[in-house]
A = this chain, B = another copy of it.
Amino acid sequence: MSRGHAALIERLARVVGSSHCLSSPAELFAYECDALTLDAVRPVAVVLPEDAEQVSRLVGVCGELGHPFVPRGAGTGLSGGAHPVEGAVVIGCSRMRRILEVDAENRLAVVQPGVVNADLSAAVAHLGLCYAPDPSSQQACTIGGNIAENSGGPHTLKYGTTTNHVLGLELVLPDGERVRLGSKSGFAAGYDLVGAVVGSEGTLGIVTEATVRLVPLPEGVETLLAVFPDLQSACRLVGRVIGAGMIPASLEIIDQRTIAAVEASAYAAGLPLDAGAVLLIELDGAACGLADQVASIREFAASEGVRELRVARDEDERALFWRARKGSFGAMGRLAPDIYVHDAVVPRSKLPDVLERICQIADRYQLQLSNVFHAGDGNLHPIISFDRRSDEELGRVVAAGREILELCVAAGGVLTGEHGVGVEKRDYMGLIFSAADLAAMTHLRDAFNPTGICNPGKLLPVTRSCVESGSKARARVSPG
């Protein structure tokens, strides 16, 4: 360890205590990347503060000694938003995991950023409430990380992404200043900085407290599983349901290869192995309105050639259907040592065509592709299973990924639905934004983060101005 690093670590440890300042290689190993594992950079130190005051002081130390810092939640992010850069200090929020207030009357909760997503819903279930955004990683991912990436989930179709559920924030700015944004009512005078911070991937500061909306658990829920001979007819049913004016809570498609992986795993739900795709449909709302919707869907599904339509008879069967969906990423582990989960949004009407062409791309690169995705939103998640130990295979994965993204953008889509830009897609931003658009975003970042010390190398293309801004570090990771 260099003398400079030793001095840094001593100063950091003085803030959080030495047991919460990690600096040995073994300790740092787990923080070299998040769930985007294509590349990894070892940070100088990882600090685990317990409150906003400590975060502010840590940021101050980093600024004084000229070290970039990288905020981190649970490290489940898929675009590398929490990837360290050379010389960086990772500021992990996992110890800030208290639910500070639950106000059922006004349907809100005040939480620290390290609260695990699913824990919040569990804590308010007895009040008939829940926290709506539900990423697949919700058993592990944190509210702070969800805010950084504006995370969604299967219920995004009806309930929106994280930005629709954050009312107020406390933020430590890159210069250590603490500010409060928004309000408990959701009304606030002045610029909507809450909106600007949600999805900013930790580049504008570190969220140290969030006031989030809680929504009432629906009176009634119906969960349906429609089995189709092919992916295209499942997509067409999605179009029919939305076109009829229904807004289901979820419309999720699982393709054949995923079914095979799931059925061979602990998440098996009795899905037919020869089905081309299954569509999971969840309807919620006033109980009296659901039967009509189920009847309409039954009719639409029949005319689209459904093989079988199951309606969950009870909570156990509903849980079984969802277990297959939520466990599908985990089940992929059976196919190959690594997976690369893509994330793009296309207009719903383009789904059948785009999916067919994505399969062709994977075939051309001789890669194993599966699809599990939020069909109602047009939010695709093509998943490539591969072995990262082969550089040649990794090269094909990256090249295919680029073609998939270009295809989605050409179809009128956008680069990401819910995983963020991070390091993964920063160099693709030019596919959908003009130089002027990107300059406007850079204005915003530089206004808050003028020295570039705060989570460098994320979200925007790494350009000359970023280097000029004084950050010593450059992200090494460049999957694109």
Contact = CB atoms under 8 A, between A and B. Distances in A.
A349 interface: yes
Nearest to A182: B414
Interface residues of A, number: 69
A395 interface: no
B198 A192 contact: yes
A84 interface: no
Interface in A144-176: 150, 163-164, 173
B437 A179 contact: yes
Contact of A421 (B178, B190, B349): B190
Nearest to A217: B245
Interface in A444-460: 444-448, 459-460
A437 B189 contact: no
Given A421-B190, A441-B193, A445-B191, A434 B105 contact: no
A178 B439 CA distance: 11
A140 B224 CA distance: 46
Contact of A378 (B164, B185, B377, B445): B185
A415 interface: yes
A285 B219 CA distance: 14
Nearest to A460: B190
Interface stretch (A36-44, A45-53, A67-75, A425-433): A425-433
A412 interface: yes
Contacts of A289: 286, 288-289
A429 B189 contact: yes
A106 interface: yes
A469 B345 CA distance: 41
Contacts of A410: none
Contact of A192 (B180, B181, B196): B196
Given A288-B288, A349-B105, A192 B216 contact: no
18 contacts: A163-B192, A164-B164, A173-B436, A177-B440, A178-B436, A181-B437, A183-B432, A185-B413, A185-B414, A187-B345, A189-B416, A189-B429, A190-B199, A192-B195, A192-B200, A193-B440, A193-B444, A443-B448
Interface of A: 105-106, 128, 150, 163-164, 173, 177-181, 183-185, 187-193, 195-196, 198-200, 216, 243, 245, 285-286, 288-289, 345, 347-349, 377-379, 412-418, 420-421, 425, 429, 432-434, 436-441, 443-448, 459-460
Nearest 8 pairs of A and B residues by beta carbon: A195-B195, A286-B289, A447-B447, A443-B447, A189-B415, A288-B288, A187-B345, A196-B196
